[in-house]
Every structure is written in C-alpha cells, then in structure tokens.
Amino acid sequence: MNRNIKDTIVEGITGVSVLLIIFIIVSILAVTIVGGWPNLNWAFLSEFPKDGMTKGGIFPAIVGTAVMTIIMAVAAVPFGVITAIYLAEYANEKSIIARTIRFAVKTLAVVPSIIFGLFGLGFFIGFIGKNMDGLLNGGELRWGQPNILWASFTMALLTLPVVIVSVEEAIRTIPREMREASLALGATKWQTIRKVVLPGSVSGILTGTILAVSRGAGEVAPILFTGAAYFLSDLPHSLSDQFMSLGYHIYIMSTQSSNVDATLPIQFATTLVLLLLTFSLNAIAVILRYRIRKKAK
Amino acid sequence: MNDIKVKVKDLSLRYGTNLALKNISMDIPEKKVTAFIGPSGCGKSTFLRTLNRMNDLIDNVTIDGEVYIDDINIYDKNIDVVNLRKKVGMIFQKSNPFAKSVYDNIAFGPRINGISQKSVLDEIVEHSLKQAAIWDEVKDRLFNSALSLSGGQQQRICIARSLAVNPEIILMDEPASALDPISTAKIEELIHELKLEYTIIIVTHNMQQAARTSDLTALFYMGDLVEMNRTEVIFSNPAKKQTEDYISGRFG
C-alpha cells in the first residue's frame, strides 16, 4: 500500500476517535442542560421532596452530600498528607515498606467502588459499630447500622489515593536547595518539613482535597450500604443519622420511584447540580495544579 | 600561625564504590579565609560538604576518617548533627532564600532555636542584615518576599540568614558563581569583613577570586589534595608542577 494512503487512514481513525469523544461529552452536557436547566431554581435547591418525591426540591440531598464530603475530607486529608510525607521524605525508595505502601495505594486506586461499600459495611458497621454499641450503649443498636459517619469514612478510603498522590507530587516539587538551606541552618528534618516543605505544598494539599471531594461527591456505590437513605423528612442531626445524597437520589429516582416519568425533570435537574458541582471542583483543582507546575519550573 | 579550627585526618569518601575523596588531611586556621580550587568534579565541593555533614543526606555515601572541629570529631557517633550545623553555616552556589519575607528568612534560624520574642528577633534580623552589608538596601522592605530581590541581594540575604544562628565557621560553595561582577565584588568585600569574626572556607572556580579573598589555598584534583599553602605561595611559587600548571591555566 502507498505510504501516503496509510498515513491518511491513520489520521482519519485518530480524528474520528477524537470526534467521537467530543460528541459523547457534548451529548451528555446537552441532554443534561436541556433537561435540567428549566427545572433548576431556588425552590428546587432549597426545598424537601414532596408528593412521594415526584415534586419539590433536593435540599436534603445537597446538605447530605456536603456534610458527607466534609467529614470525608477531614478524615482523608490528614491521613493522606501524613502518608505522602512518609513516602516523599522518610521512606527509602527501595525499602520493602515503601514499595508495599506504593503498591497498596495503587491497588486502592483501582478497587471497584462497590467493594469499598462492602468493606465499609463489614468493617465500620459490622465490626467497629457493633463493638462500639456493645461497649458504649450496652448492646443497643446505634453505631452498628448505616450512618453518615461510616459512609464518610468509607468514602475517605476510596479517595485516599487521590490525596496521597497529589500531596506527594507537590512535596517533591520543593527543590532540594530549600531543604538544604533549612538543614544547614540547624533545622531538624521535622522542622524542615513543617516550616519549609509543607508551607510550599499547600496548593498541592488543596488540589488533593478538592479532587477527593469532587470524586467523593459523585460516588454512590460506597455509601449504598453504609449510610445513604432513600428518603428522610429531616436533615441528619448526629453522626449516627443516615443522610440523603445527590448521586443516590438520581439512582433511586430513576429506578425505585413509583412514577419514574413524573420524576424525570427532577432527575435531570439533580444530575445538572451534581455535574456543575464536580466540574467546578475539578476546574479549581486543575487551575491549582497548573499553578504548582508553573511554580516548580 | 593561628589556632587550628578544623583538622581533617585521612578523610575518604565514596559514592557507592566510586572513590570521590582520597585520604584528605589538612588543617584550617581560625578566622582566616581558606579557598578550595580545582577543576570541576575534583571533589572540592564534596569535601566542603563533609565539614557540616551535608553529605549525610545523600544515599550511598560512605565516609572514612576524621574531621575535628575545636578538637571534637564531628563524625563521632554521639555528635548531634543539628548542633554541628548551627556551628558550621553554609552558603550555596545557587542562592536559596525561602519563599518568605526577608524578615522571616533571617528569623528562620533563631525561631527554630526557640526564640519567639519579637524584640529579640528584630534585633537579630537587623544585626545580621547589617553584618551581611545589605541592611540599607532592604530595611524598608523587610516584609517583602526575599524572592523579589536581585540575585546578588538574595545571596547576601542567605549569608545574613546563616549569620543569624551565630555560626563559628561559614562554608561557601561557589557563592558568587551565578552573580554579575558588581555583586561578586560585594560578596568578596563581605568575606573580608566577616573573617574578622568567622572562619571562612570558600570553594571557587575562579582563581582570581581565590587569590583576592583567601589567606590559604588548597588545590584539589581527582579527589586528591594536591597542595595547600598560603595563597601568595600557591600563586607565586607553588611546590608542585601540577599546581603551577593549573593556576597558569594549562589544564582544568
């Protein structure tokens, strides 16, 4: 075959693939915006569902998602930052411990999210929660059932790799000269990390946090068994309460509702809210990361 | 001659199996400027970094021999490296101020030593900046980022920063190699003033700089100490042919 024809074919295939991807993204956005935008208004964002969830708003799902991601971030970020500090500053790259941690982080990142849900159910609810009830409540059921705390912790496990990778990357961009300057002044290693390395990694820690929050806000599977509720007439008041979440709300609207057609506008609008939320969080993360890379050069 | 501040005995250093310093022994006098010269890769910077144990940070480095500072072997097992580095300050080739204000850069060392009283810190900052001959240039912008200053000013900020922890010895690793001639002249002038109070050891590529600033000069070549003597002797009447060849530019 003529070399020119081969080139043309390859160029054609790559071009079509790109167009296909763009087409998919644009279709998702177009369908969501067209279906969701007319239903998006203040009442929708600030009211509880009404009439068997065929009318009204998604206020409790927004609050539930927000609270769950906050608790998740509070649990995942410090844990992730500490792990990243260990990997970047203390671990010998070739040591078995460092390699095991890296392997664990990579594995954690590819575990299907439903597995995290099952793990949360077994570990947090079945093991920790049950034992807490036994010790604190004389066996009365309070922590040994799905709630917002266990759901947040389960989600924290899912998002931990995101935090670790972002923070480690940021820590590694701190030039060696900065560490040497600090050590040469008689700073200990920990003082150097605390006063030079971590302040310089703030935007990386922020990026990791935002990526984790945006991932956690959209996931459904991990909270399916661990705390998300079908419908609640009230907001959660304590960590042992269940909660409503945006992603789960879309799922039940489209599969469990008595009148799926009636909920269609709500589904579209909820999807639009969730997409706007995760897109804007990701956009912030991208901008922050771009800034870090620019600073590193 | 003067008192000996640093006494090095049979110091060898390996990167993995590669022998980078071979049995170096030398005496470095107190409150003088000692210059290390030699071609790139001769070991002069590596040797400098053994004097505050900066090589400890690099994996795979093994060091044999002894380095006595004030008659204490700094490679002894029970030596506190942190205290050693407070006593032996270091200025790097590439100026490396922290991304903090001028004030916070200078106060960094005192603060990690637990000084938090503002009046004390103010005094240390002013005194250190004056010692480093940069006070007049930065006194009105102490709270601006140190990174907004010129390269030469940044290097003097780094010198002030290291003076703020009261070192006795200052190691300088090609401190002016990235600077223009005017900034270089200022650094050299500063070295002259600082040697009244501090023992200064400077690594330099620039032989004129060694001749201008130092009292003693040591020539390194391929990990060996070729010759060390008073600077005027090294530059006018060296004992070894290799030294003469190097300073007259025949190799290196």
A187 with B82: Cβ contact below 8 A? yes
Nearest CA in chain B to A196: B98
Distance CA A210, CA B42 (A): 49
Query: What does residue B105 show for φ and ψ, rounded to 5 degrees?
Result: -60, -50
List of residues 6+ apart from B131 with CB closer than 8 A: B160, B163, B193, B194
Q: Which residue of A has its CA nearest to B82?
A: A186
Q: Which residues pair with B220 in a beta bridge?
A: B225
Percent of all residues in chain A with a pLDDT value above 90, rounded to a whole number: 64
Check if A177 contacts B (Cβ < 8 Å): yes
Residues of B in contact with A185 (CB under 8 A): 85-86, 89, 108-109, 112, 161-162, 165
Residue contact B109–A185, C-beta within 8 A: yes
Contact A183 B54 (CB under 8 A): yes
Whether residue A165 contacts residue A105, with contact meaning beta carbons closer than 8 Å, is answered with yes
Other beta carbons less than 10 A from residue A11's beta carbon = 10
Distance from CA of B189 to the nearest CA of A (A): 23
Considering A140-144, A190-194, A230-234, B54-58, the range whose residues carry the highest mean pLDDT is A190-194
Residue B83 to residue A200, Cβ atoms within 8 A:
no
Contacts of B86 in chain A (CB under 8 A): 185-186
Report residue A138 as tokens: 């004389």
pLDDT of res. B2? 60
Range with the poorest average pLDDT among A200-214, B25-39, B151-165: A200-214
CB-based contact A185:B89 (threshold 8 Å): yes
Structure confidence at residue A297 as a pLDDT band (50, 70, 90): low
Nearest-by-Cβ selection for A184 from B52, B83, B97: B52
Assess A296–B contact: CB distance below 8 Å, yes or no.
Answer: no
H or E element at residue B34: strand B33-37
A268 or A2: which carries more pLDDT confidence? A268
The whole-angstrom distance between B109's CA and the closest CA on chain A is 6
Average pLDDT, chain A: 90
**pTM for the full model?**
0.82
CA angle A39, A40, A45 (to 5 degrees): 120
Q: For the segment A170-228, what is each residue's pLDDT rounded down to a tens digit?
A: 999 999 999 999 999 999 999 999 999 999 888 888 888 888 988 898 899 999 999 99
Using a CB–CB cutoff of 8 Å, tell me whether A187 touches chain B: yes
Nearest CA among B111, B159, B186, B216 for reference residue A192:
B111
Nearest-by-CA chain A residue for B171: A184
What's the pLDDT at A138? Answer: 83
Q: Compute the distance between CA of residue A186 and CA of residue B73 in angstroms, rounded to an integer.
A: 18
Question: Does B252 score more than 70 pLDDT?
Answer: no
Which of A92, A181, A188 lies closest to B98 in CB terms? A181
- Cβ atoms B42, B223 nearer than 8 A: yes
Whether the Cβ atoms of residue B62 and residue B7 lie closer than 8 Å to each other: no
pLDDT, position B240? 92
Question: Which residues of chain B make contact with A196, given a CB cutoff of 8 A?
Answer: 98
Q: Where are the alpha helices (DSSP H) in A219-245?
A: 221-224
Least confident of A156-160, A198-202, B139-143: A198-202
Residue B96: its chain A contacts at CB < 8 A?
Answer: 175, 177-178, 180-181
pLDDT at A71: 95
Burial of B28 (0-12, 13-18, 19+ CB in 10 A): buried
Q: Which residue of B98, B105, B113, B145 to mutate against A (max A Cβ within 10 Å)?
A: B98
Distance CA(A71)–CA(A235), nearest Å, equals 15
Residue A110: C-alpha distances to residues A33, A105, A124, A222 (Å): 31, 9, 21, 14
Cα–Cα dist B158/B117, whole Å: 22
Pairing between β-strand B72-73 and β-strand B61-69 as defined by DSSP bridges: antiparallel
pLDDT digits (tens, 9 = 90+) for A46-94: 999 888 777 888 999 999 999 999 999 999 999 999 999 999 999 888 8
Type of residue numbered A235? L
Nearest residue to B98 via CA among B55, B162, B52: B162
Nearest chain B Cα distance for residue A290, angstroms: 19
Chain B partners within 8 Å of A180 (Cβ):
54, 57, 90, 92, 96
Are the beta carbons of B89 and A182 separated by less than 8 Å? no
In degrees, to the nearest 5, what angle opens at C-alpha A15 toward C-alphas A13 and A20?
Answer: 95
Do the chains contact at A183 and B86, CB–CB below 8 Å? no
Collect all residues of chain A within an 8 Å Cβ-Cβ radius of residue B151: none
pLDDT at A295: 67
DSSP H or E segment with residue B88: strand B88-91
Q: How much of chain B exceeds pLDDT 90, in percent?
A: 86
Strand, coil or helix: B220: strand
Burial of A160 per CB tally in 10 Å (0-12, 13-18, 19+): buried
Q: Touching check for A175 and chain B: CB below 8 Å?
A: yes
Mean pLDDT, residues B45-73: 92
A186–chain B nearest CA distance, Å? 5
- Chain B residues bordering chain A (beta-carbon distance below 8 Å): 52, 54, 57, 59, 82-83, 85-86, 89-90, 92, 94, 96-99, 108-109, 112-113, 158, 161-162, 165
CA A203 to each of CA A149, A174, A283: distance values in angstroms, whole numbers, following the listed order = 27, 12, 14
Using CB atoms within 10 A of its CB, is residue A117 exposed (0-12), middle (13-18) or buried (19+)? buried
CA geometry: angle B63, A92, A175, nearest 5 deg? 85
Integer Cα distance of A138 and A168 in angstroms: 43
Residue A292 has pLDDT above 90, yes or no: no
**In this model, does residue B85 exceed pLDDT 70?**
yes
CB A133 within 8 A of CB A144: yes
Residue A296's pLDDT band, with cuts at 50, 70 and 90, is: low
CB-based contact (8 Å) between A227 and chain B? no
- Of A255, A278, A236, A272, residue with least CA distance to A53: A255
Q: In the beta sheet, which residues pair with residue B27?
A: B7
